[in-house]
Chains A and B, each alone.
Chain A
Amino acid sequence: MKKSQGLSNFQITAVVTESVIGLITLSIPRIAADTAGIDGVFATFSAGILSAAMAGIIVLLCRRFPNQTVIEFSQEILGKFLGRLYGAAFAAYCLLVSAVIIRGFADALKVLLLPKTPLEFVMITMLLLCIYCVVGGISTIAKICEIFLLPVIGVIGLIILFNVPDVEMFRFRAVFSNGLMPILQGISSIAIAYLGYEILFFLSPVMKNKNKIVSYGIAGMVVPIIIYTSLVFVAIGIDGALATSDLIYPTVQLARRIALLGSFIEKFDIFFIIFWILAVFTSAITFLYMASISVTRLAGLRNYKPFIFMLVPFIYIIAILPQNIVQISMLTQSADYAGILMVSSSVPMLLISLIRKKGGIHHG
C-alpha cells in the first residue's frame, strides 16, 4: 500500500511553468517588438494575464472531472463521436507541437552552437532522451521539472539582471502613443508564447491534493509572465523596437552583451544555451506525454508506455520534413493556431458541461 501517490502541489506549479518556458524564450522579444513595437512590454504582460485566465478556465473544467483526462471527459461532454473527434484533434496537436519543438531546438542549436553536427543527430538524441524520461511516467516528468526549474529561471534571471542597467528609459516615453491596435495585435501573437499550460488538462487525475489544482495550476503562469515581460522590457529598452524585431534570437544577443568582471567571463550565451536546452527538454517531454496519453485513451487502453515508442517516429518525420526556415515557420504557425484553438475550446466545453450538468464535484 503506497501512501503518497500522485504529484504534490508544488510539482504541479513546476510542470506548468516548465512546459510554458521553452523554445520561444529565444525569440519572445522579437515577436513582441515585431507586432506591438514599443508597446510590446504591455502586450506581453496582458497576453500573460489572458493566458493565466485561460489556464484558470481549463482547471475549472478539469475540476468537474477529477479522475479523468480531457480525452475521457470530452466524450462525456460532447458525446461519443464528437468527443472522440476532439480527442483525435488534441492528439494530433500534441504530436505537431512536439515536432515543432524538436525541430526548432535542433535548428537553433545548429545556428548557435553546433554548426557541423547533423540535424538528424541532434533530433534523434533529444527524442531518445525524451522517450527515456516519459517512459518513467508523470512522476518522473514532474521531478525533472522540479529539478530544472531553478537553473532555468536562474540563468534567464541573470540575463535580465545584468542587462537592466543598460535599459534606456526614454524609449518607453512613447508607450501607448499608437493607440490600441498594436497592443491588441501584439496580444494575439504573443499569446502563443505562453502555450504549454494545456498540460493542466491531464494533471487532475494524477494530482494528490485535487482541490488545490486551481490555485497551484494558475501559479505556474506567474513565473513565465514575469520572465517574458522582463525579457521584452530589457530587449526593447536596450536596442529599441525596430532593431529587436530585426534579430532572430534577441535573447541570445542579450546574453552576448554580458561581460562579467571586465571581460573575464565572456561568451555568456553558451552558458545560457546550455540551460535553455533544459527548458526545451522539459516542454518537449510534457508534450510527448500528452500525445501518448491522448492516443492511448482514445484507443481505450490504460498503459500508455508502448505508444510512446510508436509516436516518436511520427514526430521525427514531421520534424524532419521542412526544408528551410520558411517551411519551419509555416509548421510553427500551424501549431500555434491549433494551440490557440485547443486552449480556447475549454470555454465552450465548460459552458456545455454546465448546461448538460455533466461532471461536477459530487458530495457525500
Chain B
Amino acid sequence: MARRMLLFLLLIPLMLLSTTSCWDRLEIEDQAFIIGVAVDQAEDPDKITVTFQIAQPQAFIAESQVAEPFFNIKETAEDVTAARNQLARGINWIPTMEHCQVILVGEELAREGLKKHMDFALRTHEVRRRLQIGVVQGKAGDILDMKFKSDLVPSFVISEMMNQNSQYTFSLTDYMSIGSLHVASVENYDFILSRIIPIGEKLDMSGGAVFRNFHLSGWLSGEELIGARFLRGDVSSGYLTVDLPPDLGDKVMLRVFESQSELRPEIRDDKLYAILDLRLEGDINEIVNPRAKLTDSEFISQCRALFENYVKTIITNTFHKVQREYESDPFRLKEKLESYYPEFWKENADNWDEIYQSAELEIEGEVRIRRIGEIKSR
C-alpha cells in the first residue's frame, strides 16, 4: 500500500510536466504586436523600406504614462521577413505578425511588382487569412504616420474602412484576402486592390488599383470602380447618383439595397462575349431641387431609364479602360472561360490576350425602384 502511495505521489509531478506545455509558452508582455505594415521601394532598387506599426497596449490603461497607443519603426532590407528580423535588433520585444490588420503597398513598389514580396504572407500561418491589402498613391509609410481626428491607430482605421465601408458604398473596393491572393498567384489571375490617397490629414479611399501579372498597371477612379465591382459580381449596397433633365430637377440619388450581378462568358463564332446580368433594387433617397409635375409611375419609370443608362455607361467605360488601356482581366473572365468552355480554352489558351482584347461586353441591366422615401413632393 505504501509503495502504491509513493508511486502515486511520483506520478503527480510527472503529469504536471506534460500539461504545462512549457516549450511553446509566449509571454504577452514580451511580444511586439505588429498591427500594420507599409512596404515602399527604398532608394536602393534592390531593397524595400518597411514601416511597422506596433501597438502599445499600455496606452489603453487609464493612468498610463504612455501617450500614444502605437509607434512606427522603419527598416530597410531586402524583403519583409528580413526587415522583421532587423526589427528584433532594435526593440526589447519579440515582433509578431499575428495581429496584423493591414498591409499597405507604395505605388512605386506596386509598379515594380508584388510577387517578390508576397511569399512571407502565404507560407506561414502567423499572418491571418483575412488581412487587408491596399495600394497607396505615393509613399505607403506616410499613411501610418498620419494622425486621425478620431485619435485611433491608423492601421485600425484603414482596415475598418476597407472592411465596413465597402458594404456601404460602391466606390470602395472590398479588400483582397491572403487566400484569394494565393489563388491569383497560382493561377496567374489579375485583380483590383483598393486605392488609398493621402490628402493632407485625411484619407481618400475611393477607387482601385488594377494589377496585371502582379504589376500595378493603372488606377480606377471611384466612379469607375463602381463599374468594376458590378463586373466582378462583388456587389452589396450603396448609392448611385444621376443628373436629372432640367424639367424634373437637378439630381436624384438611389439607395441600392439589393443587387445581383453575374458575368458569364459566351463564345459566338469564335469570338468572346462577356455577358453581364445585372439587377439593382433600391429606394429614391434624395432629389435635389425637385421640379417634376409628374405622377409617381411616370417619375419612377423616367428615373429607371436614367439609372439603367447611367449604370450601363459606367460599366462599359470601365470595361474598355481596363481591357484596352490596362490590358488586365480582373473580372475573372479567363477563369470563367476555362470552366464554361473547357474545349475552347484548351485550343485557344495561348491566344488568350488576343481573345480578351477583342472581347465585347453585353449588359442586360435592370433597375427596380421600389419606394420614393417619406415625402411625396417631387
Listed in ascending order, the chain A residues whose CB lies under 8 Å from chain B are 38, 111-118, 121, 125, 170-174, 177-178, 239-240, 242-243, 246-247, 252-253, 256-257, 259, 263, 266-267, 269
Contact = CB atoms under 8 A, between A and B. Distances in A.
A114 B186 contact: no
B182 interface: yes
A173 B343 CA distance: 12
B182 A117 contact: no
A290 to B, nearest CB: 27
A177 B187 contact: no
B182 A115 contact: no
Nearest to A247: B182
12 contacts: A111-B125, A116-B23, A170-B264, A173-B340, A239-B179, A239-B182, A239-B183, A240-B335, A246-B182, A257-B179, A266-B130, A269-B125
B18 A117 contact: no
Nearest to B123: A248
Nearest to B26: A116
A117 B21 contact: yes
A177 B340 contact: no
A243 B21 contact: no
A170 B337 CA distance: 10
Nearest to A118: B23
Contact of B129 (A115, A118, A246, A256): A256
A173 B336 CA distance: 9
B128 A243 contact: no
Interface in B350-377: none
A113 B338 CA distance: 37
B128 A114 contact: no
Q: What is the predominant secondary structure among interface residues of chain B facing chain A?
A: helix
B125 A112 contact: yes
A117 B24 contact: yes
B246 interface: no
The 10 closest A-B pairs by CB, nearest first: A177-B342, A117-B23, A174-B342, A243-B183, A173-B339, A243-B186, A256-B129, A174-B339, A116-B23, A114-B24
Interface of B: 18, 21, 23-24, 125, 128-130, 179, 182-183, 186-187, 264, 335-336, 338-340, 342-343
Contacts of A256: 125, 128-129, 179
A116 B338 CA distance: 43
A266 B338 CA distance: 34
Given A112-B125, A170-B340, A266-B128, A243 B182 contact: yes
A116 B130 CA distance: 25
A240 B23 CA distance: 38
A242 B187 contact: yes
A253 B179 contact: yes
Which of B130, B179, B343 counts the most chain A CB atoms within 10 A? B179
Nearest to B22: A117
Given A115-B24, A257-B129, A263-B130, A243 B187 contact: yes
A38 B335 CA distance: 13
A129 B187 CA distance: 44
Contacts of A178: 342
Contacts of A173: 339-340, 342
B23 A114 contact: yes
A242 B339 CA distance: 13
Nearest to A178: B342
A246 B23 contact: no
Contacts of B24: 113-117
Contacts of B338: 174
B23 A171 contact: no
Contacts of A247: 182
A266 B186 CA distance: 26
A198 to B, nearest CB: 31
Contacts of B21: 114, 117
Contacts of A259: 130
Given A257-B179, A266-B128, A246 B186 contact: yes
A91 B106 CA distance: 61
Contact of B339 (A116, A170, A267): A170
A121 B186 CA distance: 36
Nearest to A252: B125
Nearest to A172: B339
Contacts of B335: 240
Given A118-B23, A246-B182, 11 more contacts: A113-B24, A121-B23, A173-B342, A174-B340, A177-B342, A242-B186, A247-B182, A253-B179, A256-B125, A256-B129, A257-B179
